[in-house]
């Protein structure tokens, strides 16, 4: 909310500097968002008077003026049609800056005549759009004086953020009241005059639904003259950035920003019969003051007459009964509308208005009558006319809520020693009628504090005024230990996995949890993942997989000329939009060059075995100790069918996939080279709850080991794992390892054949193997492999 310091001082009597007041505002929870010296832009401008005025010798539309600016008389060439001798003007001297375009005034020759400075229009000062002529000041304005001072523009504009609970501070009066309670001044007494009225209002008011509108006060004022508002009122509205419209409208706006009391004026001659406050009917529509037509629904609060809807209660008036300069008779409304209903209607129709903003936060019921009397007076003063007796439909509750609080509880909550007496003092300064009542403190909640309903709320009031800086700082280490692991097993696994994978060369990316349904159907059922109000069309679903966003990032990075990319993301993916259907996993991708040609190595591209290697390494790291890992070629459909695999832990747990991205998907993402990736299914990793710190026993043989190499010609579809398995099974004790060390395909072997070579390490734990032992084992190995693969050994 915006207000000026001078406006605030109309309610607050204070000796304090504005800077102290500003600090206090923030300290009591009315956070100052900006402070602006409104006179700053005009500080160089001076009030001048045109002494002489004659036609420019070389230009028809220009005039030569001599202007008295107090300290001297200057020549100014002026193009304004309205400049006349004797006129009091705003003079911008050489060196000053014109606010609207930041132009610096220089001494200049205009069509051969020297000109020093400029006389300004309202447009040039940024006050209004008026640029047809220069400003003509009142004749009694003192020549030579600073324009800022004489116009009263030397003010401070303060903008504060109002939290949703502080509806009472949506008017300058409320802000002043809070400051007074905090000790920076005294709230000025307001003279409250009630308007008696000389006749009965011809427009009756009927409330049909008291739940949506508990009270509606009306004042009928006849024979008004809706003029432009007087200067003081226009200035006030302009000072907080509002555009003056006409006296009737300006008065309602002024009362709203001053006292947080929304009002509305109807052109009474356009109202047919009586005013009826009722729920809208389905299918009804209404054209509001913003010139838009709204389709109403049952439950919305309308202000209607006997024919039509005139306005939406607490939100916006209608076009049909709007006031203009010809309006003669008016009905002024001051009402109470239900906060929840106002919020719902405003949200359903997407109408934002100052009235809605206030009513949905709760309005001081007592402002209903105060506001209507005050605004009626202003209308009579400014627009003339005669007012009726005030009509009140519905009821304004006179009783105030009360609450008993305990000083002990307050101390316990705040951690601050404070006496009951001080509590009572603070509460009373805020308008809570607080007094001691036995062990507790009895509080009467002021009508303007709709937000206060419990002891906790009161504790905030106390500490707000006492000052948050007075809360001591206590050590938390000593109290109520909670015996729980800081990270659970799953959280530890994720953290360890991230670091390990990054150490394998991958850079961690974090992408949005959303993705593009058009590109994600490969990975899941996109219809089940829709976001109702997506941020953009290409982020319209929750991601069914980490893959699509990472592919998009590959595309972006390669476009920037990056030819080697190792990236991973640890995050969630979704199988539906229910809270339960979220799983955690890690996806790593290696794309492009493993390394470029360097001075010591040839260029090499990443392949699926990089992904496989990295995935197996991280699994071995995360699942230490004895385990059985097997690899099958049944990866999900988003992998290349012939270049992908699935890793199974202990025969049954699917723990990860690796391989090349299906080329069809790469195409869809316009990625040209092969993408090698893995997915680690974090949630499937067995949690080692009963962790043993013992490692398995290590048995080392002291006898010499022997290695033997064997090469086989095999059918192409034979897997290396078959060879290794066959070899190892020959003698699980003596055969320590079997590894593939060579692989090649050649026409000479036959079209569907390949050669694969295996290196076997033999070592006994009981003796040194002799030639016979070795030969016998070798033949068994050859035999076993030939048998299981139908291959033949190469000699």
Whichever of 425 and 456 has its CB closer to another protein, that residue is 456
Whichever of 355 and 714 has its CB closer to another protein, that residue is 355
Whichever of 576 and 737 has its CB closer to another protein, that residue is 576
Q: What is the distance between the alpha carbons of residues 353 and 344, in angstroms, rounded to a whole number?
A: 13
Whichever of 386 and 504 has its CB closer to another protein, that residue is 504
Q: Shortest gap between Cβ of 571 and another protein (angstroms)? A: 8
Q: State the CB neighbour count (10 A cutoff) for residue 219.
A: 24
Whichever of 321 and 345 has its CB closer to another protein, that residue is 345
Dmax (CA) for the chain in angstroms is: 131
- By DSSP bridging, strand 507-508 and strand 564-574 are parallel
Q: Terminus-to-terminus CA distance in the chain, angstroms? A: 92
Q: Shortest gap between Cβ of 713 and another protein (angstroms)? A: 37
Q: Shortest gap between Cβ of 355 and another protein (angstroms)? A: 14
Whichever of 609 and 744 has its CB closer to another protein, that residue is 609
- Tokens 């006296």, residue located: 247
Whichever of 150 and 459 has its CB closer to another protein, that residue is 459
Nearest to 686 by CA among 614, 612, 625: 625
Nearest to 617 by CA among 647, 640, 594, 659: 647
Residues with Cβ < 8 Å from 181, sequence gap 6 or more?
28, 426, 429, 430, 431, 465
Q: Shortest gap between Cβ of 556 and another protein (angstroms)? A: 7
Whichever of 78 and 414 has its CB closer to another protein, that residue is 414
Whichever of 8 and 462 has its CB closer to another protein, that residue is 462
- By DSSP bridging, strand 113-115 and strand 108-110 are antiparallel
- Helical spans, DSSP H, in 606-752: 608-622, 663-668, 720-730
* SS3 per-residue string spanning 112-156: CEEECCEECCHHHHCCCCCCCCCCCECCCCCCCCEHHHHHCCCCE
Whichever of 340 and 740 has its CB closer to another protein, that residue is 340
Whichever of 557 and 720 has its CB closer to another protein, that residue is 557
Whichever of 438 and 579 has its CB closer to another protein, that residue is 579
The pair of three-digit structure tokens given for residue 309, joined into one six-digit string = 């809807």
Q: Shortest gap between Cβ of 517 and another protein (angstroms)? A: 12
Whichever of 128 and 165 has its CB closer to another protein, that residue is 165
Q: Shortest gap between Cβ of 631 and another protein (angstroms)? A: 24
- By DSSP bridging, strand 275-279 and strand 205-207 are parallel
- By DSSP bridging, strand 639-649 and strand 293-295 are unpaired
DSSP secondary structure, 417-484, as one string: ---HHHHHHHHHHTT-EEEEETTEEEEE--TT-TT--SHHHHHHHHHHHH-GGGS-----TTS-----
Q: State the CB neighbour count (10 A cutoff) for residue 19.
A: 10
- Tokens 């002529």, residue located: 133
Contact 317, 301 (CB under 8 A): no
Q: Shortest gap between Cβ of 369 and another protein (angstroms)? A: 25
Q: State the CB neighbour count (10 A cutoff) for residue 535.
A: 10
Q: Shortest gap between Cβ of 417 and another protein (angstroms)? A: 10
Whichever of 80 and 618 has its CB closer to another protein, that residue is 618
The pair of three-digit structure tokens given for residue 156, joined into one six-digit string = 């401070």
Number of residues written out for the chain: 795
Q: Shortest gap between Cβ of 540 and another protein (angstroms)? A: 11
Contact 131, 122 (CB under 8 A): yes
Strand segments, DSSP code E, in 240-366 are 264-267, 275-279, 285-287, 293-295, 301-304, 309-312, 316-317, 330-336
Q: What is the distance between the alpha carbons of residues 377 and 362, in angstroms, rounded to a whole number?
A: 25
Q: What is the distance between the alpha carbons of residues 665 and 516, in angstroms, rounded to a whole number?
A: 13
Q: Shortest gap between Cβ of 451 and another protein (angstroms)? A: 9
Nearest to 567 by CA among 484, 506, 488, 630: 506
Neighbouring-strand partners of residue 63: 55, 78
Q: Shortest gap between Cβ of 548 and another protein (angstroms)? A: 12
Q: Shortest gap between Cβ of 519 and another protein (angstroms)? A: 16
Q: What three-state secondary structure class fits 555? A: helix
Q: Shortest gap between Cβ of 474 and another protein (angstroms)? A: 4
Whichever of 6 and 577 has its CB closer to another protein, that residue is 577
Q: Shortest gap between Cβ of 600 and another protein (angstroms)? A: 8
Q: Shortest gap between Cβ of 508 and another protein (angstroms)? A: 4
Q: State the CB neighbour count (10 A cutoff) for residue 597.
A: 10
Q: What is the distance between the alpha carbons of residues 787 and 781, in angstroms, rounded to a whole number?
A: 10
Q: What is the distance between the alpha carbons of residues 114 and 440, in angstroms, rounded to a whole number?
A: 81
Whichever of 17 and 637 has its CB closer to another protein, that residue is 17
Neighbouring-strand partners of residue 632: 646
Whichever of 21 and 127 has its CB closer to another protein, that residue is 21
- Tokens 């008077």, residue located: 49
Calculate the CA 50 to chain-centre distance: 54
Q: Shortest gap between Cβ of 674 and another protein (angstroms)? A: 19
Q: Shortest gap between Cβ of 587 and another protein (angstroms)? A: 13
Q: What is the distance between the alpha carbons of residues 459 and 481, in angstroms, rounded to a whole number?
A: 27
Neighbouring-strand partners of residue 115: 108
The pair of three-digit structure tokens given for residue 11, joined into one six-digit string = 């309610």
């Amino acid at each position: 909310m915006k207000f000026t310091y001078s406006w605030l001082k109309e309610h607050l009597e204070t000796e304090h500097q504005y800077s102290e007041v500003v600090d206090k505002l923030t300290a009591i929870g009315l956070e100052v968002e900006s402070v602006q010296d409104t006179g700053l832009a005009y500080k160089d401008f001076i009030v001048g008077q045109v002494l002489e005025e004659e036609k420019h010798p070389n230009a028809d539309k220009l005039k030569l003026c001599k202007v008295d600016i107090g300290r001297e008389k200057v020549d100014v060439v002026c193009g304004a049609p309205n400049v006349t001798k004797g006129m009091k003007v705003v003079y911008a001297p050489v060196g000053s800056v014109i606010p609207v375009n930041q132009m610096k005034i220089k001494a200049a020759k205009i069509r051969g005549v020297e000109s020093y400075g400029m006389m300004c229009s309202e447009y040039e000062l940024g006050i209004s759009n008026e640029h047809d002529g220069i400003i003509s000041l009142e004749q009694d304005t003192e020549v030579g004086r600073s324009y800022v001072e004489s116009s009263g523009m030397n003010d401070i504009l303060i903008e504060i953020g109002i939290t949703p609970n502080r509806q009472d501070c949506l008017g300058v009066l409320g802000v002043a009241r809070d400051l007074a309670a905090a000790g920076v001044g005294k709230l000025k007494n307001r003279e409250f005059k009630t308007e008696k009225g000389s006749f009965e209002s011809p427009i009756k008011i009927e409330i049909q639904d008291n739940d949506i509108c508990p009270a509606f006060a009306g004042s009928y004022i006849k024979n008004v003259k809706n003029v432009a508002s007087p200067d003081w009122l226009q200035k006030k509205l302009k000072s907080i950035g509002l555009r003056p419209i006409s006296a009737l409208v300006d008065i309602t706006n002024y009362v709203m920003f001053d006292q947080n009391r929304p009002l509305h004026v109807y052109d009474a001659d356009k109202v047919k019969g009586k005013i009826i406050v009722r729920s809208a009917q389905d299918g009804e529509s209404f054209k509001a003051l913003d010139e838009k037509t709204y389709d109403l629904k049952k439950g919305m609060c309308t202000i209607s007459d006997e024919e039509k809807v005139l306005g939406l209660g607490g939100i916006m008036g209608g076009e049909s009964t709007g006031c203009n300069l010809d309006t003669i008779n008016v009905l002024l409304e001051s009402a109470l509308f239900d906060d929840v209903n106002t919020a719902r209607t405003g949200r359903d129709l997407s109408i934002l208005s100052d009235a809605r903003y206030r009513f949905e936060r709760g309005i001081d019921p007592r402002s209903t009558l105060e506001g209507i009397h005050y605004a009626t007076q202003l209308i009579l003063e400014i627009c003339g006319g005669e007012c009726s007796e005030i009509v009140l439909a519905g009821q304004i509750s006179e009783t105030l809520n009360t609450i008993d609080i305990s000083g002990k509880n307050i101390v316990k909550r705040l951690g601050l020693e404070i006496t009951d007496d001080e509590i009572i003092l603070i509460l009373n300064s805020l308008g809570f009628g607080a007094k001691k009542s036995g062990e507790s403190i009895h509080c009467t909640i002021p009508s303007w504090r709709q937000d206060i309903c419990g002891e906790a709320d009161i504790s905030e009031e106390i500490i707000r005024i006492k000052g948050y800086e007075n809360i001591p700082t206590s050590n938390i280490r000593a109290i109520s230990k909670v015996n729980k692991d800081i990270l659970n097993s799953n959280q530890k696994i994720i953290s360890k996995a991230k670091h390990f994978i990054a150490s394998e060369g991958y850079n961690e990316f974090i992408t949005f949890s959303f993705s593009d349904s058009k590109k994600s159907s490969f990975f899941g059922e996109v219809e089940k993942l829709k976001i109702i109000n997506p941020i953009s069309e290409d982020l319209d679903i929750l991601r069914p997989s980490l893959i699509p966003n990472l592919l998009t990032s590959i595309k972006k990075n390669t476009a920037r000329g990056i030819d080697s990319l190792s990236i991973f993301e640890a995050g969630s993916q979704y199988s539906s939009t229910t809270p339960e259907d979220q799983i955690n996993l890690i996806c790593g991708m290696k794309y492009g060059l493993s390394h470029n040609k360097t001075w010591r190595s040839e260029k090499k591209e990443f392949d699926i075995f990089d992904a496989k290697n990295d995935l197996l390494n991280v699994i071995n790291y995360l699942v230490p100790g004895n385990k059985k890992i097997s690899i099958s070629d049944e990866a999900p459909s988003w992998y290349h069918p012939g270049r992908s695999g699935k890793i199974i832990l202990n025969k049954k747990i699917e723990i990860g996939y690796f391989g090349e991205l299906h080329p069809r998907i790469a195409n869809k993402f316009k990625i040209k080279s092969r993408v090698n990736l893995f997915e680690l299914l974090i949630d499937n990793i067995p949690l080692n709850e009963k962790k043993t710190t013992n490692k398995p026993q290590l048995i080392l043989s002291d006898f010499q080991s022997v290695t033997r190499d064997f090469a086989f010609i095999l059918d192409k579809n034979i897997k290396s794992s078959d060879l290794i398995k066959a070899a190892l099974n020959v003698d699980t004790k003596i055969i320590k390892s079997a590894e593939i060390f060579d692989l090649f395909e050649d026409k000479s072997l036959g079209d569907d054949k390949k050669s694969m070579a295996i290196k076997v390490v033999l070592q006994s734990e009981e003796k040194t193997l002799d030639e016979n032992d070795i030969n016998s084992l070798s033949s068994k190995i050859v035999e076993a492999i030939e048998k299981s693969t139908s291959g033949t050994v190469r000699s």
